[in-house]
Every structure is written in structure tokens, then in C-alpha cells.
Amino acid sequence: MKSERNQNDSNKEECIYDKITKRPDYIRASTGSNVRTSSLFLQKFNRKDNEIPRYGITATKKVGIAVDRNKAKRRLRHAVKKVLPKWGESGYDYVVVATKKTNILPWDVIISDLERAFKE
């Protein structure tokens, strides 16, 4: 498992979140609760432990060609790193799925959609 560190902290404390790297974890997250917004689709799964939250990003071929999928994943990855430390709960896996509108909508809309999805 690859750990991410908050680069804004000057004292470099504990890891704030981890990245999901294994396919079974993505599949398990799809069985949890789902929140759909205009720019993304968030899947939450409660692991029933007190470890730090983990996240994963995915984009299907419905988003577009490889260049479009990679752009959508980059945008969502940056948004998750901004929102997850504030709204993520311990013991949860979060998978963010890109939609066709992820590349079209303004950055503020993506951030607000992700925050709203985390709150639900």
C-alpha cells in the first residue's frame, strides 16, 4: 500500500490517507454506499476498523479516449487530495469514478460535488 503525506504540513506528521492499489478493494468498495453528482460518482465502503481512509480513482471508457480518461483521473486525484483530509472518515475506502462531465465542468463544481458526496 502506498502512503500519501500532506505536503502542506511543515512537521510531516502521520499519513493522512492511503491509496487503494488492489482490484479486490475496488470491487469491495462498489458494494458500499454510492453517491452520484453531476461531475463524479463516489463509492464508500466501511472497513469497520480505525485505520486511515483510503482512496482510489477510476474512469471507464465511457468517459472517452485514453487522453480524456487520464485528464479526468488527474483532476479527480487532485480534488480528492484537497477534500479527503477534511471530510474523510477513518476506516473507510473511497472510490471516485469519473463521468463524461468531469473534464468539462469548472474546477469549483468538481470540488463542491466531491465535498457534497463526502458529506452524504
* pLDDT tens series, the chain, 120 aa: 445 554 544 444 455 888 999 999 999 999 999 999 999 999 999 999 988 999 999 999 999 999 999 999 999 999 999 999 999 889 999 999 999 999 999 999 999 999 999 998
Q: Which whole-number Å values give the CA distances from 103 to 38, 42, 90, 108, 111, in the listed order?
A: 11, 16, 29, 12, 13
3 in a structural domain:
no
69 in a structural domain:
yes
| Residue 15 pLDDT | 59
- In the chain, how many domains are there? 1
Which structural domain range is residue 42 located in?
13-119
75 in a structural domain:
yes
Q: Do the beta carbons of residue 88 and residue 94 sit within 8 Å?
A: yes
4 in a structural domain:
no
Tell me the CATH number at 54: 3.30.230.10
**If we measure between CA atoms, which residue out of 54, 34, 50 comes closest to residue 42?**
34
| Residue 14 pLDDT | 54
Predicted TM-score (pTM) of the model is 0.83
| Residue 65 pLDDT | 96
2 in a structural domain:
no
6 in a structural domain:
no
